[in-house]
Amino acid sequence: MQLEDAQHIILFGGSFDPPHVAHVALPMAAREAICADLVAYVPAAKAPHKLDKVQTDSTHRLAMLRLALEGAEHAAIVTDELDRAADGKPSYTVDTLETLRERLLPQARMRLLIGADQVRIFDKWREPERVIELAQPLVMVRPPDTRESLLASLEDDAARQAWAPRLIDVPAVEISSTGIRERVARGESITGMVNPAVKRYIREHGLYKP
């Protein structure tokens, strides 16, 4: 299914540096849970909270994401943030959502898939109220967080009541892009952590070496 034809879309953003198996499995579990048509992956040009970190060139990250999603029926890639990168500005979710709203069917519904860590800093996002208006957040709750611990960490009852319906449980998958980069740098195996095609790409292009 094409993005422009979908009625119910989950948007999932990230650096995908590199994309790993949880980047595929968890959003797809969320899609099934809420019966969405499609997961749209949005690779960030430069995440605002990672401006001080070195990031792999977007050409490589996009190529790896395409390999990771090859054959996935209910997945699409949105390159809007990468396409805006020429002016050197960081990626803001609200700008991407505004652009997508103009491209999608009038009746299409967007949900923004985020991790529990982002709930705690959501008020620091650019125009958080507008983000919610455009794409109601869908929060992946996984260990060590639980629904109860996440809600208890919020400041007041109003916030807890607002976020409670947005929570969704997903399987616990102990994999991170940071850990994969560190393993590659140490010469350790990443078999099973990334798609075999992504593993080959990392090796062939010498990514994440010291």
pLDDT value of position 86: 67
Return d(Cα 128, Cα 150) in angstroms, integer.
Answer: 19
Q: What is the model's pLDDT at position 52?
A: 58
Domains in the chain and their CATH numbers?
A: 3-174 (3.40.50.620)
How much is the pLDDT for 100? Answer: 95
Phi-psi label, residue 44: left if phi above 0, alpha if psi -120 to 50, beta otherwise: beta
Q: At what angle do helices 58-68 and 196-204 cross, to 10 degrees?
A: 150
Maximum separation of any 2 CA atoms in the chain, in Å: 52
Q: What angle do CA 87, 17, 47 make, to 5 degrees?
A: 40
State residue 85's pLDDT score: 80
pTM as predicted = 0.93
The overall average pLDDT reported for the chain is 92
Residue with token string 């029926």: 73
pLDDT on residue 158: 93
Rounded-to-integer distance, Cα 129 and Cα 109, Å:
17
pLDDT tens-digit readout, 92-125: 899 999 999 999 999 999 999 999 999 999 999 9
Output the pLDDT for position 138: 98
Residue 48 confidence (pLDDT): 55
* Spans in the chain with pLDDT lower than 50: none
